[in-house]
Amino acid sequence: MLKSDSLNGADPKIVWELNRHQHLVTLAQAYLVTGEEHYRSEVISQLRNWMDANPPKYGINWASSLELAYRSIAWLWAWSLCGSGNVFGELTERFVAMLSMHAEHIEHNLSVYFSPNTHLSGEALGLYYIGTLLPDLKGAKRWRSIGKRWLVDCLNSHILPDGGYLERTLWYHRYTIDIYLHFYLLGLQNGDPVVAFLTQPLQKLGDFLACSLQPDSRLPHIGDDDGGRLLPLDGFPGDNPSGIFSILAVICRSKEFASLAGAFSEEALWLLGPAAPALFQQIVPQQPIETSKVFVETGYAFLRSGWRNDDVYISFDCGRHGWLNCGHAHADMLSLQVYAGCRAIIRDPGTCSYMNPWRDWFRNAESHAIVRVDGEYPAVPAGLFQWSAIPHLSAARHSLTERIDYAAGTMEAGAWQHTREIFFLKPDLIVLLDRIEVTGSHEIELRFPLADTEWCITNDVCTSISSGPACSIQCEANQRHRVELVEGWQSTCYGQREAAFILLFKVVAAGPHIVATLIDLSGIDHCVRRLPQSNREAFVVETLHGGKAVATVKSSMKEDAICAAFAE
């Protein structure tokens, strides 16, 4: 891996993405569909020019084994779609020899010690591809065996018991599904019995992915999002997983996956073949039965009022900071996202770049929906993919019912402790109770990254002024507090950023202290009020005009039961 200080601030990912040569697959698809020779000629021309300009073992395009693996997969697809065999004419022999060099380089530079995450599983897939599709190469049998061994090993270590990916970032969860779908389908097509056991892990990976989906049917950009894909075979962005659900619906014979896929996808057609659409049509779509689900091992709660695209959705990060060096983690423990239908209200800011200054701005605490004490948060970055300090989750709890969903977690931050409890009063009221255990008086700051700049503050209530669903956000801190909107950013696509506000509530208080936040998506004005007789730990939500009680909630982390109820 290249060191960041040797690149003068340049992002090597920009070069690597181009040199994955996934656009050659698009040209080869065009050749297969149209039969027009100029598409294949362009593939051959670009391959020749690339080989001339990138001699083996020299330069940026030989620095990352993962990039060699992805390039090899794209080359093999382009070659196969163009006809395979001697289809590249006089370039064919050189093309095959270069793939052999790619395999040798990957074999001797596997990411076993550095980045043994999707780097390792992706590299193993590259070896498996080369060893399977070029069986006459001298090292083919060995590469196929090594690739298979590491893919199985990574499957057992990377996928948690609840089906989540252990780095706890949604983009890399998708990468993991793609890697094992390709492993399964390539092995199945070529008679490898080892892939027979993959259907159950793929089902679990798909279940997690399904529950994470926002009402706009996109993946949350929680944790690192590098914008790439293993092999884009359609024109969709990487956060649109409809193709995955088409494929999983056929493989797992799943009605729920078919429902989430919608129509049969182009990606599924390329991967499964011409017989697959008929198989897909035989499956009667059915919306998922569970609306809300908590993944205890991965540490996420996905709460929703339903599966329509106008329902309310909450994602809550109530798990570990990451894995090993936590390279793809963000400072977002106990943060949340809120959607009112397809409109984002509170949103994770995304990634934007792997290079500073934007790298740290988008992954740091101040850009997430978290609590800080005296401007401090216990996750401190140290380098682009390292942390000098990380928070620790000491407890988590949840309860899901037909009317009220509850999820909570406690984070240890050294001199202070933060407990966040979410009460989702379905279908459209959300109460957060943030308890800060600290000695003495301190400035407590709640931050909420909003999805755009169409907000205003009136009488300490933050209200949406867009034409979309009504929303207001207010705090009850039991004493005078400051409310303000500050300028921030969001990134819904790697390499891009847009202006967005961050909502701040600040109060100076002695600990322990509880702040209640009401997120009102009902369109009916409500307020949240502390009940004085409850030792300051219980709150009532009531209509703003008329004072009619709607529900009561009480801090429940230390209770035997979840203390929340709708008024009669």
For the chain, domain boundaries: 4-158, 296-566
Residue 470, both tokens: 């009504």
**DSSP secondary structure code for residue 289 in this structure:** S
DSSP assignment of 542-553:
EETTT--EEEEE
CB 432 within 8 A of CB 420: yes
**Topology annotation, domain 296-566:** Beta-galactosidase; Chain A, domain 5 (2.70.98)
Per CATH, 4-158 and 296-566 having the same topology is answered no
| 8 A C-beta contact, residue 516 and residue 431 | yes
Identify which of 212, 196, 207, 202 has the alpha carbon closest to the alpha carbon of residue 179.
202
Identity of residue 267: E
* pLDDT digit string, tens, across residues 193-240: 999 999 999 999 999 999 999 999 999 999 999 999 999 999 999 999
Distance CA 205, CA 210 (A): 9
| Structure-token pair, residue 215 | 């009402």
Instruction: Identify the CA nearest to 47 among candidates 69, 16, 74.
Output: 74
Q: What angle do CA 371, 374, 377 make, to 5 degrees?
A: 45
pLDDT at 7: 54
Cα gap 352→434, rounded to integer Å: 29
In a 3-state reduction of DSSP, which class is residue 23? helix
Per-residue tokens: 238: 């990487």
Handedness of CA 275, 276, 277, 281 (dihedral sign): positive
Calpha distance 90→547 (Å, rounded):
82
Distance CA 38, CA 30 (A): 10
Q: What is the pLDDT of residue 534?
A: 64
Buried b / exposed e along 115-131 (16+ C-beta atoms within 10 A): bbbbbbbbbbbbbbbbb
Q: What residue type is assigned to position 202 of the chain?
A: L
CB 360 within 8 A of CB 381: yes
CA–CA separation, 168 and 335 (whole Å):
14
Rounded to whole angstroms, how far apart are CA atoms 228 and 91? Answer: 29
Q: How far apart are CA 316 and CA 314, in angstroms?
A: 6
Note whether 128 and 151 are within 8 A (CB).
Answer: yes
Count other Cβ atoms within 10 Å, centred on residue 355.
Answer: 17
Burial zone of 76 (CB within 10 Å; 0-12 exposed, 13-18 middle, 19+ buried): buried
**Contact (CB, 8 A) for 165 and 132:** no
Report field, pTM of the whole predicted structure over 0.85? yes
Three-state secondary structure call for residue 466: coil
- What CATH number is given for 4-158 in this structure? 1.50.10.100
pLDDT of 393-448, one tens digit each? Answer: 999 999 999 999 999 999 999 999 999 999 999 999 999 999 999 999 999 999 99
Measure Cα distances from 542 to 4, 405, 433 in Å.
Answer: 53, 19, 16
Q: What tokens were used for 484? A: 């303000």
b/e for 213-238, b at 16 or more Cβ within 10 A? Answer: bbbebbbbbbbbbbbbbbbbbbeeeb
Which segments in the chain show pLDDT lower than 50? 1-6
CB burial string 495-533: b at 16+ within 10 A, e below: bebeebbbbbbbbebebebbbbbbbbbbeeebbbeeeee
Contact in structure between 460 and 392 (CB atoms under 8 Å): no
Q: Tokens 């020749």 label which residue?
A: 48
d(C-alpha 223, C-alpha 320), whole Å: 12
